[in-house]
Amino acid sequence: DSGVTQTPKHLITATGQRVTLRCSPRSGDLSVYWYQQSLDQGLQFLIQYYNGEERAKGNILERFSAQQFPDLHSELNLSSLELGDSALYFCASSPRNTEAFFGQGTRLTVV
């Protein structure tokens, strides 16, 4: 158990809908990262937050947004969903200057 919690584990929704994925980082970790992994693909970096502030942005679509709250949990919002958004979405957290710890992921299926 990495200490990073993601909910829900699985999500099935229809095209055009909006979903929210939630991540609770390890206790004390200020950085939260979101990654997308499509079938048989690598981890694509979406966005990073550090202590509530956006720190870095990857190839995140305009339909996607995220935030980190004062209690350091983070949410990733995906809207106007398309079939191609079906993927595993991972959250990771880290303290400064050490490795990142990954949650178990949310498997999103858009039908």
Partner 1 sequence: GQNIDQPTEMTATEGAIVQINCTYQTSGFNGLFWYQQHAGEAPTFLSYNVLDGLEEKGRFSSFLSRSKGYSYLLLKELQMKDSASYLCAVRDNYGQNFVFGPGTRLSVLP
- CA atoms of 9 and 74, how far apart (whole Å): 15
Integer-rounded Cα Rg, in Å, for the chain is 13
# residues contacting partner 1 (CB under 8 A): 27
Closest CA to 21 of 33, 12, 8, 35: 8
| Piece in contact with partner 1 (CB under 8 A), picked from 13-21, 41-49, 61-69, 78-86 | 41-49
**Residue 71 interacts with partner 1 (CB under 8 A): yes or no:** no
86 near partner 1, judged by CB under 8 A: no
Least CB distance to partner 1 at residue 77 (A): 20
94 counts as binding partner 1 under rule CB under 8 A: yes
Ranges within 19-38 binding partner 1 (CB under 8 A): 31, 33, 35
Which amino acid does the sequence have at 61? L
Is residue 10 within the footprint of partner 1 (CB under 8 A)? Answer: no
Alpha-carbon span 105 to 13, nearest angstrom:
17
Task: CB nearer to partner 1: give 28 or 42.
Answer: 42
Q: From residue 48, how far is each of 57, 70, 92, 96, 110 by CA, in Å?
A: 6, 15, 9, 13, 24
Site residues (CB under 8 A) for partner 1?
A: 2, 31, 33, 35, 41-43, 45, 48, 50, 55-56, 88, 90, 92, 94, 96-105, 107
